[in-house]
Amino acid sequence: MASDLYEKGLKVRTEVLGEAYVKKALAGVDEFNRPLQELVTEYCWGAVWGRPELSRAERSMINLAMISVLNRPHELKAHIRGAITNGVPREKIREVLLQVAIYGGVPAAVDSFRIARETLAEIDAGT
């Protein structure tokens, strides 16, 4: 039985990342990874993203920086799309990635710019 926090998290996760992304993530749930998906949905999306002290756009920009530094291209792509959904202009995405270059390393920023350009082109193409 899903908790209220899980339901809140599922709503936020779907609003930010899109229904197709979330359905795909949850379609692969099995007994082994179910606890991870529950943890991510409840605590990441419900408990943290659900807090009012930062806007979704601010959270998106923070995530773009951290995910870039951690070199997680799959997650970066998803969160670039989420940032656009949350109203982060492309110019601010660019500035976040420039900040990554200085404080997280140029290689991380180079990869992040490449992923951002590919993702933004996909968004422009409607895919």
CATH number for the domain that contains residue 69: 1.20.1290.10
Q: Which domain holds residue 96?
A: 55-127
62 and 47, same structural domain? no
Place of tokens 């949350």: 86
CA separation, residue 83 to residues 4, 27, 29, 34, 57 (Å): 25, 24, 25, 26, 6
pLDDT digits (tens, 9 = 90+) for 115-125: 999 999 999 99
Pair (61, 119) in one structural domain? yes
Whether residues 60 and 42 share a domain: the answer is: no
Return the structure tokens found at 5: 């926090």
Residue 1 has pLDDT above 60, yes or no: no
What does the pLDDT look like over 64-94, one tens digit per residue? 999 999 999 999 999 999 999 999 999 999 9
CA atoms lying within 13 Å on the CB side of residue 21: 18
Residues 96, 106: one domain?
yes
Structural domains in the chain (count): 2
How far, CA to CA in Å, does 18 sit from each of 83, 86, 109?
11, 11, 25
Last residue of a domain, one of 20, 37, 53: 53
Same domain, 67 and 116: yes
Q: Mean pLDDT, the chain, as a whole number?
A: 95
Full DSSP string of 98-120: HHHHHHT-HHHHHHHHHHHHHHH
At 11-20, the pLDDT tens digits run: 999 999 999 9
